[in-house]
Amino acid sequence: MMSPLLGVLGGMGPAATADFLAKLAAHTPAQRDQDHLATIVYSDPTTPDRSDAILAGGENPLPAMFRGIAFLDEAGCDLIAIPCNTAHHWYDDLASATTVPVVHIVDAVAAQVEREAPEAKTLGLMATDGTVRAGIYDKVLAPSGRNVIDLTELGPDNPVMAGIRAVKAGALDGARDILTNAMRELVARGAEGIVYGCTDVSAVLEIPASGVSVPVWDAADALAIACVNRLRG
């Protein structure tokens, strides 16, 4: 009997998709290849930039994402994961385009925070400017009395965006240094916990985080755990 089939709407970006798959394997209880989840990945790195669409009226990425959702639906997937935080600005549209359940990445993070540090009320968000502007995390976290702080007011000097761009360009060591400094700045501003709210950040920073003493949650890691729990229950 074939195991439940996970569909991954990926390519946003490619390194983030590869990192999510590695985390999925790491969190799957397995003694042999056959114990792992069957997975189909639809990876289209030509999907228009999600932040550009939100912030500057750039090309709409939704048609490209709809094609991926349709592919995964037709492939017979039992669950769909989208390892891109900013893409969740269009979550309702994407979830409505299929009868297959789609895991919400921020719900997965929120569940971890509530379980592991319910007292943490101010979270430092390391995410794209598009994710921040769209309020993707605020909408989910605010009902539990949590607020989110970020570094977007720094504009072109925002180290989180600089680090994300470095990841996309393949400059991983430089990205790691930039993003670690961004974490320290968020803690200095009062963050009681840090969320890696961009899967490109997840691809280069570890948990526990180097240089900070507050708890850290990784959205890609949370999504992987949520998928394993849903399909292995």
DSSP string, 126-152: E--HHHHHHTHHHHHHGGGT-EEE-SG
Rounded to two decimals, what is the model's pTM?
Answer: 0.95
User: What residues are labeled active site?
Assistant: 84, 198
Domains and CATH numbers, the chain: 5-104+222-232 (3.40.50.1860), 106-218 (3.40.50.1860)
CB 131 within 8 A of CB 198: yes
Q: What's the pLDDT score for residue 233?
A: 75
pLDDT score for 210 = 82
Q: Is 117 helix (H, G, I), strand (E, B) or coil?
A: coil
Tell me the one-letter amino acid at 136.
I
pLDDT recorded at residue 211: 80
Q: Maximum CA pair distance of the chain?
A: 53
Compute φ and ψ for 163, nearest 5 degrees.
-65, -40
What pLDDT does 1 receive? Answer: 55
How far is it, in rounded angstroms, from Cα 17 to Cα 149? 26
Q: What is the pLDDT of residues 38-91, one digit of tens each?
A: 999 999 999 999 999 999 999 999 999 999 999 999 999 999 999 999 999 999
| Exposure string for 48-60, b = 16+ CB within 10 A, e = fewer | ebbbbbbeeeeee
Q: Please identify every stretch of the chain with a pLDDT value under 70, giving residue numbers as ranges.
A: 1-2
What is the structure's pLDDT at 3? 79
178 alpha-carbon distance from chain centroid: 19
